Amino acid sequence: MNTEEITNVLEEVPDTIAVSVDDTLREITMYYALLSEVCTHTKYAASDGDYLTIYMDPIFQSTILGILLVPRDEKGRPEPDFSVESLKIMPSEAEKLIEWARQHSFNFFLKATLSMVKLGNLHQKLEVAMKATSTSSPDGTPD
């Protein structure tokens, strides 16, 4: 996969989403720490090639919803007694939130892949340049 193919797969996804939870509109922002938690869980589904887990496994979905919706203190620590089952959230809102998290997670992994591909391309160019230099004499003429 080349850099253009990877770039074309990236999705536009807003940093913030609003969902109705417990009859209140809640705004959730995907800060790095939250993304890191989401990615920790989604990477296992992605690495197995089993992307359907994100949509079909209710335990997985509850875990992602819990990460996104748990009340946190001012230092970002989650409330210890939180339970997703205690929330009043419509399935359509839960699906919207899970899809938003999936988009962020996949973009994160795709951007990491893009960086590795670019680094690999740079490494190849450096190797070619170094081989060209090593076959020249000090005055720049070929040996």
DSSP character string of 69-89: HS-B-TT-PBPTT--GGG---
pLDDT for the residue numbered 62: 92
Q: How many domains does the chain have?
A: 1
Question: What's the mean per-residue pLDDT of the chain?
Answer: 83
Enclosing domain of residue 99: 3-76+85-134
- The stretches of the chain forming alpha helices (DSSP H) are 3-9, 32-47, 52-56, 58-69, 91-134
Least confident of 3-12, 44-53, 59-68, 112-121: 44-53
Task: Tell me the β-bridge partners of 29.
Answer: 16
Question: Which two structure tokens, joined as six digits, stand for 55?
Answer: 């949509």
pLDDT band for 26, please (50, 70, 90 cuts): very high
**8 Å CB contact between 88 and 69:** no
- Rounded to an integer, the average pLDDT of 34-40 is 90
Q: What is the pLDDT of residue 100?
A: 95
Position 1, amino acid = M
Q: Is residue 101 part of a domain?
A: yes
Does any domain span residue 94?
Answer: yes
Q: Is residue 26 part of a domain?
A: yes
Distance CA 103, CA 39 (A): 11
* pLDDT for residue 53 is more than 90: no
Would you give the DSSP letter of residue 24? E
* 34 is a domain residue: yes
Asked whether residue 142 is assigned to any structural domain, the reply reads: no
Interior angle at CA 102, CA 14 and CA 43, nearest 5: 135
Does residue 82 surpass a pLDDT of 80? yes
The proportion of the chain whose per-residue pLDDT surpasses 90, expressed as a percent, equals 43
pLDDT band at 81 (very low <50, low <70, confident <90, very high): very high
SS3 label, residue 26: strand
Structure token pair of residue 45: 């589904």
Contact present, 9 and 2 (Cβ < 8 Å):
no
Task: Give the C-alpha separation, 78 to 88, whole Å.
Answer: 19
Residue 136 confidence class, pLDDT cut points 50, 70, 90? low
Does residue 96 sit within a domain? Answer: yes
139 in a structural domain: no
